[in-house]
A and B are shown apart, each in its own frame.
Chain A
Amino acid sequence: MSCIYDFSILSTTSLSCIRVSEMSAGTLESLVGQTISVITNDGRIIVGVLRGFDQATNIILDESHERVYSTKIGVQQLVLGLYIIRGDNISVVGEVDEELDASLDLEKLKAHPLKPVVH
């Protein structure tokens, strides 16, 4: 489990880099430490705590799990742990409203999985 400490160092480093050039209005700075929901280009949804990011939108996601949507059964949650997601594969980063999220009955939520992004 020592790798977790390595990554937390990595995340603070990338953060200070971002602060140097705060030009980019699209930074995820305000979301660090928050639970976020990431939609990847292949249509997966990964929820976890944002630990760090960089200019390329590469992100470090802690305590993450995937939410798998289907029309037959409710949302299945797969535990993933610590993930680094490459920015090129990220479509959307959403801030999860914890209260709203707790009020969702994921087991009853049915929907098609999201389609992959087609460029």
Chain B
Amino acid sequence: MAPPLFVGDVTLPLQFLDRKQSRTQSHAMLFFSYFKDLVGREVTVELKNDLAIRGTLISVDQYLNIKLENTRAVDQDNFPHMLSVRNCFIRGSVVRYVQLPPEGVDVDLLHDATRREARGG
């Protein structure tokens, strides 16, 4: 019996691409990977409408869309618009900054990853 064409974890078209292209793809993954490792930590996401939301990072995707739990506006007096919201999804494209917890930043690891990806691109 012939083996199936698609086996195991291969579910995405990109996984079939050649090495150079998959390197290009991994190049775009630096911050995606970084934020995935940061899941569970408290971050402050500052948006391009000046709203700043603090919460626990729950998940992130390839577009750097972000899900937070236990959210609150940093300045609740001026931004009471989300008072009844405890969990939220933030579109990556409206993020200006993310304030990172110092214990969640390994600078040596970041330097290595950045150099590795700069070479690959």
Contact = CB atoms under 8 A, between A and B. Distances in A.
Interface of A: 21, 23-26, 28, 31, 37, 39, 41, 43, 45, 57, 67, 69, 87-88, 90-98, 100-101, 104, 109, 111-112, 114-119
A28 to B, nearest CB: 6
Contacts of A31: 89
Contact of B91 (A21, A92, A98, A115): A92
Contacts of A92: 47, 51, 53, 82, 88-91, 94
Contacts of A116: 49
Contacts of A94: 71, 82, 85, 87-89
Contacts, number: 104
Interface string B8-45: 00011000000000000000000000001000000000
B89 A26 contact: yes
A31 B58 CA distance: 14
Interface string B81-107: 111111111111110000000000000
Contacts of A114: 49, 51, 79, 81
24 contacts: A24-B61, A25-B61, A25-B65, A25-B67, A26-B92, A41-B49, A41-B94, A43-B49, A45-B81, A57-B65, A57-B91, A91-B91, A92-B47, A93-B88, A93-B89, A94-B82, A94-B85, A97-B85, A101-B84, A109-B80, A111-B78, A115-B50, A117-B48, A118-B49
Nearest to A90: B91
